[in-house]
């Protein structure tokens, strides 16, 4: 029996530690520390993760054989003792034989022959044991129990992630408010230790399944851990070793050798080159700050001077972004060429084509890469061997992007950490917090989440034949055959917004031509772009969010602006779609000089709005060396600016100029029922409106309440508008400012203006404002007029709902009952509203139950896994006991037979005597 590494006594209830040393179950309990998943091995001092059922691992086949060999070895030793006894007995018989002359000589000869046969039998047994060992080894290699091992690994991952989820600084579902650096540091070591175990599990899964992508997953986890360790956590050294081991396994399977030395040399070179590009970019941005010709925010300059300076600023920003595109194209090409050299893949009939900001010449050296791999082939499918090579190429390229350490782990969509289950948002829980580490989120592959994956790994769940690794002919066939709802899911591709970043440029040209020539599908694409114009306004405009909350009590409070989501995306996607709808051949806003139906001034304003938003984004990224879009408690994150320019004033100037175009742009889209009407309106209005009202809205969005109040007072005094959307926004500003000294005089004198507009939305917004201010009688007057004038559509329902609320607040029981009699449908609507509210509450309650059930299921799965382990252990134990019992029976039978033979021999000897 084995000896316990702790108490040094024979083990009675075996437990095996992660380092494979063994101890008693009672000793293991004394080694455990409270609230820690780790124990320290008393022998080797290694820190071991203590899983449920620790030491109760399945006995492997070679363990059984070892016990079998031990039993046989004992039998062999006993046989050797028996042989010695036989020899002694033979010697004695020989002496008797000499004394008895010839009769004893014959008996002696017979005893020697018997001894020889026993030795031969012993030799045969040893040979049989050796053959048995070789045969078992062959069977294990030929038929490994993969399923069993994978179940064990999945069970271990489930338990480790349960420990990780308890760390509230990395669990999105547990974080409340801001995470402090002190709290983050207190959890850091435990976090990285457990996370490394998850990486090791994926490495082991890669070995068992021979899955290259599992190695990529493991390496992504190691890279994240390395970043989180910094140079301060001892676990860093182990991370580096584990990463090297995973790379060796990846390349051994991929190209037949371990990690080539030049792979790590290239890794260092690539980091240096990327840093050089970023450093050069910072110098170009700072040069912009010293260029007087493009400083358009200077007070006291004329309109013409401002326009000229804005034009020069747009031009200079455009030059910077064109330079970035050129540098990043060369940089990515270098990474691809390195990957091709490692793979020894020499085909030249393919291209990498990029989407998103890359295709719009708005990318940065910190942006993620959205791209596809397209083979220049007229076949509808890649040949299997060719596809396999391309997939390996993509994974090697992915490893090179991961090596920068700037890929946030949720982007890998590893199920145990960030599962995108729409029915259970709690499965997407892991937060790769980069605020307190030196390496921020930056250059990487686009996220692999199923709903947002624009990488060569993507396969459409709705239309399986559409995948971003395919032939040119396949993409053209997809375009011809896909239905409208299917095209909508991949509109970014079939709009033709892509550019070649490596390889055969003719593929890009031919696909774009084919997409435009198919006039029927092109009309479908333009229809989808028009729909997207409205959808983008809802998704990406903070101005639109104010308008849509016009029947709520307060503007959603928020202390900061998100640079990408709230500033950059609106002009970027809207301008991109306008280029399609206005039949422009320009690939980016920087190359637009004229657009059908738009005056030159409005083209200038569109370019300036996008230029400002893109500049703010670029300065934030360059200043933080990564994708830092928001800083809680501050309007904007820190950003790069020259020492002689005040950053607060400068950022306010940039954002204010942005809103002077973004607000009228949003009004034009919001005020029209169709994209065609919105486009027509763009040609009639100015897309630059520095009105006092727009300045008020801008200050509200910039969270500057004091300046917003000053501007609103002026706007209320000079109020004059016929545009319903602007009227509603003016009313909303007075509600959101929450200052009766400013808003009450304005709202009091507004009734006649609102009623004269005959616009139902305006009357409803005004009536709701009066309700919120407590002017019930005036609200009832306006809302009764709104109900009277409204037609039977959604707005009439809103009018009557607001009026019912006013009647209730004013204790107008008779009017309320009359309204209900005249409009019995309102009772049903109220019932539906009530049921909807109840359903929302029920859904909230059910979601909480789902979270609880999910946790319970995880516990049950873990218990089931442990039970299976216990059952299998018991089966193995009983099988081994049965085998040992069988051996004992055989041994007894042999001994009985031998004893019987001895008895016969003794009888014979006595007869001879």
Rounded to the nearest 10 degrees, the angle between the axes of helix 794-809 and helix 813-822 is 160
Q: Is 55 left (phi over 0), alpha (psi -120 to 50) or beta?
A: left
Residues ≥6 apart with Cβ < 8 Å to 425: none
Q: Looking at residues 598-615, what average pLDDT do you find? A: 93
Rounded to the nearest 10 degrees, the angle between the axes of helix 724-737 and helix 740-748 is 140
pLDDT bracket for residue 854 (50, 70, 90): low
Q: At 374, give phi and psi (nearest 5°).
A: -125, 130
pLDDT bracket for residue 885 (50, 70, 90): low
Distance, CA of 60 to CA of 37 (rounded, Å): 25
Contact of 33 with 39, CB cutoff 8 Å: yes
* Residue that has been written with the tokens 């000089």 in this structure: 593
Distance, CA of 465 to CA of 322 (rounded, Å): 35
Please state the length of the chain.
913
Residues 280-336 have pLDDT tens digits of 999 999 999 999 999 998 888 999 999 999 999 999 999 999 999 999 999 999 999
Distance, CA of 553 to CA of 535 (rounded, Å): 24
Residue 899 or residue 777, greater confidence: 777
Cα 645 → chain centroid: 38
Q: Which residue in 635, 645, 639 sits closest to 625, CA to CA?
A: 639
Q: At 485, give phi and psi (nearest 5°).
A: -65, -30
Q: Which residue in 387, 616, 348 sits closest to 507, CA to CA?
A: 348
Distance, CA of 242 to CA of 245 (rounded, Å): 5
Q: How crowded is the C-beta side of 456, counted as CA atoms within 13 Å? A: 25
Residues 80-125 have pLDDT tens digits of 777 677 777 767 776 776 676 666 566 666 666 766 766 666 666 6
Contact of 466 with 459, CB cutoff 8 Å: yes
Residues 705-755 have pLDDT tens digits of 899 999 999 999 988 876 788 888 888 888 888 888 998 888 888 888 887
Residues 681-712 have pLDDT tens digits of 777 888 999 999 999 988 988 888 899 999 99
| Residue 273, both tokens | 């080159």
Contact of 197 with 164, CB cutoff 8 Å: no
Residues ≥6 apart with Cβ < 8 Å to 773: 735, 740, 743, 744, 747
- Residues forming a β-bridge with 40: 47
Per-chain mean pLDDT for the chain: 84
Distance, CA of 574 to CA of 530 (rounded, Å): 10
| Residue 229, both tokens | 């360790």
Residues 501-522 have pLDDT tens digits of 999 999 999 999 999 999 999 9
Strands 371-375 and 469-471: parallel
pLDDT of residue 202: 97
Task: With a cut of 70, say whether residue 551 has pLDDT above it.
Answer: no
Residues 782-828 have pLDDT tens digits of 888 888 888 766 778 888 888 888 898 899 999 888 888 888 877 77
pLDDT of residue 139: 54
pLDDT of residue 52: 61
Cα 622 → chain centroid: 24
Long-range CB contact pairs, 768-773, < 8 A, 24+: 768/550, 768/551, 768/802, 769/731, 769/732, 769/734, 769/735, 771/802, 771/805, 771/806, 771/809, 772/553, 772/735, 773/735, 773/740, 773/743, 773/744, 773/747
Query: What does the DSSP assignment read for 511-564?
Result: HHHHHHH-HHHHHHHHHHHHHHHHHHHHHH-HHHHHHHTTTSSSPPP-SS--II
Distance, CA of 779 to CA of 766 (rounded, Å): 8
How many CB atoms neighbour CB 186 within 10 A? Answer: 12
| Residue 65, both tokens | 């054989």
Contact of 469 with 394, CB cutoff 8 Å: yes
H-assigned helices in 290-383:
303-343, 356-359
Task: With a cut of 50, say whether residue 57 has pLDDT above it.
Answer: no
Query: What does the DSSP assignment read for 668-736?
Result: HHHT-SSHHHHHHHHTTS-S----HHHHHHHHHHTT-HHHHHHHHHHHHHT-----HHHHHHHHHHHHH
Task: With a cut of 80, say whether residue 906 has pLDDT above it.
Answer: no
Distance, CA of 785 to CA of 757 (rounded, Å): 12
Distance, CA of 177 to CA of 880 (rounded, Å): 57
Residue 368 or residue 18, greater confidence: 368
- Range with the poorest average pLDDT among 17-26, 59-68, 783-792, 882-891: 59-68
Q: Is the dihedral of CA 712, 714, 717, 718 positive or negative?
A: negative
pLDDT bracket for residue 372 (50, 70, 90): very high
Residues ≥6 apart with Cβ < 8 Å to 331: 270, 273, 274, 277
Contact of 426 with 242, CB cutoff 8 Å: no
Contact of 572 with 357, CB cutoff 8 Å: yes
Residues 383-406 have pLDDT tens digits of 999 999 999 999 999 999 999 999
| 349: helix, strand or coil | coil
Q: At 220, give phi and psi (nearest 5°).
A: -60, -35
DSSP 8-state code for residue 577:
H
Distance, CA of 727 to CA of 200 (rounded, Å): 61
Contact of 446 with 454, CB cutoff 8 Å: yes
**Sheet strands side by side (includes 371-375):** 469-471, 371-375, 350-354, 499-503
CA angle in degrees (0–180, nearest 5) for 389-394-398: 145
Distance, CA of 577 to CA of 491 (rounded, Å): 11
Q: Which residue in 363, 361, 388 sits closest to 373, CA to CA?
A: 388
Distance, CA of 503 to CA of 374 (rounded, Å): 10
CA distance readout (Å), 53 to 49, 556, 824, 863: 11, 50, 66, 10
Residues ≥6 apart with Cβ < 8 Å to 763: 754, 755, 757, 782, 783, 785, 786, 789, 799
Residues ≥6 apart with Cβ < 8 Å to 487: 479, 494, 521, 524, 525, 528
Residues 189-209 have pLDDT tens digits of 999 999 999 999 999 999 999
Distance, CA of 385 to CA of 405 (rounded, Å): 31
């Amino acid at each position: 029996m084995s000896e316990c590494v702790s108490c040094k006594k024979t083990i009675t209830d075996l437990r095996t530690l992660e380092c494979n040393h063994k101890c008693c179950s009672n000793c293991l309990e004394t080694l455990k520390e409270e609230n820690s998943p780790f124990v320290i091995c008393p022998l080797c001092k290694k820190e071991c993760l203590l899983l449920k059922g620790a030491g109760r691992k399945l006995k492997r086949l070679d363990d059984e054989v070892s016990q079998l060999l031990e039993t046989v070895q004992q039998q062999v030793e006993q046989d050797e003792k028996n042989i010695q006894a036989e020899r002694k007995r033979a010697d004695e018989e020989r002496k008797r034989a000499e004394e008895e002359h010839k009769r004893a000589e014959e008996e002696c000869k017979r005893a020697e022959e018997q001894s020889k046969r026993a030795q031969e039998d012993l030799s045969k047994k040893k040979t049989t044991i050796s053959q048995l060992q070789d045969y078992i080894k062959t069977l294990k290699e030929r038929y490994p129990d993969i399923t069993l091992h994978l179940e064990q690994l999945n069970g271990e991952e489930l338990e480790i992630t349960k420990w990780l989820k308890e760390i509230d600084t990395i669990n999105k579902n547990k974080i409340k408010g801001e995470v402090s650096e002190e709290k983050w540091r207190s959890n850091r070591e435990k976090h990285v230790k457990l996370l490394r175990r998850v990486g090791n599990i994926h490495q082991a899964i890669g070995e068992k399944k021979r899955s290259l992508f599992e190695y990529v997953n493991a390496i992504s986890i190691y890279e994240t851990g390395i970043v989180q360790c910094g140079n301060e956590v001892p676990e860093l050294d182990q991370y580096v070793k584990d990463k090297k081991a995973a790379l060796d396994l990846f390349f051994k399977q991929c190209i037949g050798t371990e990690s080539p030395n030049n792979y790590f040399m290239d890794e260092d070179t690539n980091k240096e080159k990327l840093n050089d590009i970023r450093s050069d970019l910072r110098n170009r941005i700072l040069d912009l700050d010293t260029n007087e010709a493009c400083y358009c925010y200077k007070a006291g300059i004329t309109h013409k001077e401002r326009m000229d300076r804005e034009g020069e600023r747009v031009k200079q920003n455009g030059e910077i972004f064109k330079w970035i595109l050129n540098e990043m194209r060369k940089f990515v090409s270098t990474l691809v060429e390195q990957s091709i050299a490692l793979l020894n893949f020499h085909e030249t009939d393919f291209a990498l084509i990029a989407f998103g900001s890359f295709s719009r010449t708005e990318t940065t050296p910190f942006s993620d890469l959205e791209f596809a791999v397209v083979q220049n082939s007229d076949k509808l499918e890649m040949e299997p061997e060719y596809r396999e090579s391309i997939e390996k190429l993509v994974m090697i390229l992915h490893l090179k992007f991961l090596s920068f350490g700037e890929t946030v782990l949720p982007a890998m969509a590893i199920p145990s950490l960030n599962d995108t289950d729409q029915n259970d948002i709690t499965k997407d829980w892991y937060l790769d917090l980069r605020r307190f580490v030196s390496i921020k989120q930056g250059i990487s592959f686009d996220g692999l989440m199923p709903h947002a994956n624009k990488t060569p790994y993507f396969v459409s769940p709705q239309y399986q034949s559409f995948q971003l690794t395919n032939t040119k002919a396949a993409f053209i066939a997809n375009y011809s055959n896909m239905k409208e709802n299917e095209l909508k899911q991949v509109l970014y591709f079939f709009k033709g917004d892509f550019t070649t970043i490596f390889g055969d440029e003719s593929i890009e040209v031919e696909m774009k031509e084919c997409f435009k020539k198919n006039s029927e599908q092109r009309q479908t694409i333009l229809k989808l772009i028009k729909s997207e114009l409205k959808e983008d306004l809802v998704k990406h405009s903070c101005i639109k969010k104010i308008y849509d909350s016009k029947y709520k009590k307060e503007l959603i409070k928020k202390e900061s602006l998100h640079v990408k989501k709230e500033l950059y995306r609106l002009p970027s996607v809207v301008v991109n779609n306008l280029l399609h709808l206005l039949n422009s051949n320009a690939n980016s806003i920087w190359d637009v000089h004229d657009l059908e139906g738009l005056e030159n001034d409005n083209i200038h304003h569109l370019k300036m709005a996008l230029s400002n938003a893109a500049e703010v984004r670029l300065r934030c990224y360059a200043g933080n060396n990564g994708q830092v879009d928001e800083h809680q408690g501050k309007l904007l994150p820190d950003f790069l600016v020259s020492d002689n320019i005040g950053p607060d004033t400068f950022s306010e100037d940039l954002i204010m100029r942005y809103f002077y175009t973004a607000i009228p742009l949003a009004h034009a889209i919001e005020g029209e029922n169709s994209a065609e009407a919105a486009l027509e309106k763009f040609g009639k209005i100015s897309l630059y409106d520095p009105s006092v009202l727009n300045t008020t809205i801008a200050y509200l969005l910039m969270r500057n309440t004091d300046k917003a109040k000053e501007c609103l007072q002026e706007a209320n005094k000079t109020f004059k508008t016929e545009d319903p959307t602007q009227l509603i926004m003016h009313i909303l500003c007075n509600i959101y400012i929450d200052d009766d000294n400013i808003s009450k005089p304005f709202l009091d004198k507004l009734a006649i203006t609102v009623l004269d507009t005959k616009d139902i939305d305006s009357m409803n917004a005004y009536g709701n404002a009066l309700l919120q201010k407590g002017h019930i009688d005036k609200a009832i007057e306006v809302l009764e007029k709104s109900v009277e004038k409204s037609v039977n559509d959604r707005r009439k329902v809103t009018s009557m709902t607001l009026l019912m609320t006013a009647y209730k607040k004013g204790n107008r029981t008779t009017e309320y009952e009359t309204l209900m009699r005249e409009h019995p449908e309102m009772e049903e609507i109220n019932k539906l509203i009530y049921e909807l509210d109840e359903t929302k509450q029920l859904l909230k309650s059910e979601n909480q139950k789902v979270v609880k059930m999910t946790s319970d299921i995880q516990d049950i799965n873990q218990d089931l896994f442990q039970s299976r382990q216990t059952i299998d252990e018991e089966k193995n134990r009983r099988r081994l006991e049965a085998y040992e019992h069988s051996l004992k029976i055989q041994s007894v039978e042999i001994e009985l037979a031998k004893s019987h033979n001895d008895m016969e021999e003794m009888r014979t000897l006595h007869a001879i005597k």
